[in-house]
Structure 1
Amino acid sequence: MIRALTLLFALQLAGEALANTLALPVPGPVLGMAGLLAIFALRGGPTEAQEATARGFLENLGLLFVPAGVGVTLHLGAVADEWPAILAAVVLGTLVAMVATAFAFRWLARLTHSEEEQ
């Protein structure tokens, strides 16, 4: 578990360093996750220790939302002032994500020839 956590944190640190050094508009953790994906692609997937570590994070995922909830509570006045923009961003973001997911699914279905002929 220590090795799996070390890998996760090292990749996050590398992503942050890369994003800051090159002034990229992408968050460092996203670059770290891309590095993790590349490692998994080269190795043929995660090890058992990495799977167990990820499972532990997922089982406690709710705890990761506590800081965001506290932040919203602390800035409730700003949220109340900007609620139309926040609502619009959430609704539009959800719609864009749904459409992008549908197109990605159709593209992957065609790519893998898994669509049924009708």
Structure 2
Amino acid sequence: MLIGLLVLLLFQFVGELFVLAVGVPVPGPVVGMVLLLGCLILKGEVPDYLRLPSEALLKHLALLFVPAGVGLMVHFKLLQADWLAILVALIVSTALTIVITGLILNRSAKKLHQMSGEG
């Protein structure tokens, strides 16, 4: 369990270093998780030492959103001033995500159907 947490933190750290070195406007932990995903795809499986702590963290995922919620309340005046733009951005991005996910799922299902020889 401890080794898995260390691996997760190591990838987060590498992601932070990458963002600092390259200057991309993406959070370091996101870059780290993409790098971890790439390594896991190359490996072809998720090792138990990484799967177990990941599942433990996912069980408490809602708790990890509390600091972000508190951070939003710290900047309440800024949010209050730009609420309409934020609301529009949330609605548009959610709608685009749903549409794009549906299109990808539809295309994947068609290809899977063709590959199985039923189409």
Segments of 4+ moved more than 6 angstroms: none
Deviation at 1:54, TM superposition (A): 0.9
Deviation at 1:11, TM superposition (A): 0.8
Which residue of structure 2 aligns with residue 26 of structure 1?
A: 26
SS of the residue 2:46 aligns to: coil
Rounded to whole Å, the distance in 1 between the matches of 2:66 and 2:17 is: 27
SS of the residue 2:65 aligns to: helix
Q: Deviations over 1:18-55 (max 9, x none)?
A: 12212223332222112211221222211122111111
Query: What amino acid is the match of 2:45?
Result: G
Q: Deviations over 1:68-102 (max 9, x none)?
A: 11122222222222111111111011001111101
Asked whether 1:58 is paired with 2:58, we answer: yes
**Equivalent residues of 2:7, 2:50 under 8 A apart:** no
Normalised by the size of structure 1, how large is the TM-score?
0.86
Which residue of structure 1 aligns with residue 94 of structure 2?
A: 94
SS of the residue 2:23 aligns to: coil
Superposition RMSD in Å: 2.0
Query: What amino acid is the match of 1:86?
Result: I
Segments of structure 2 that go 5 or more residues without pairing to the other structure are none
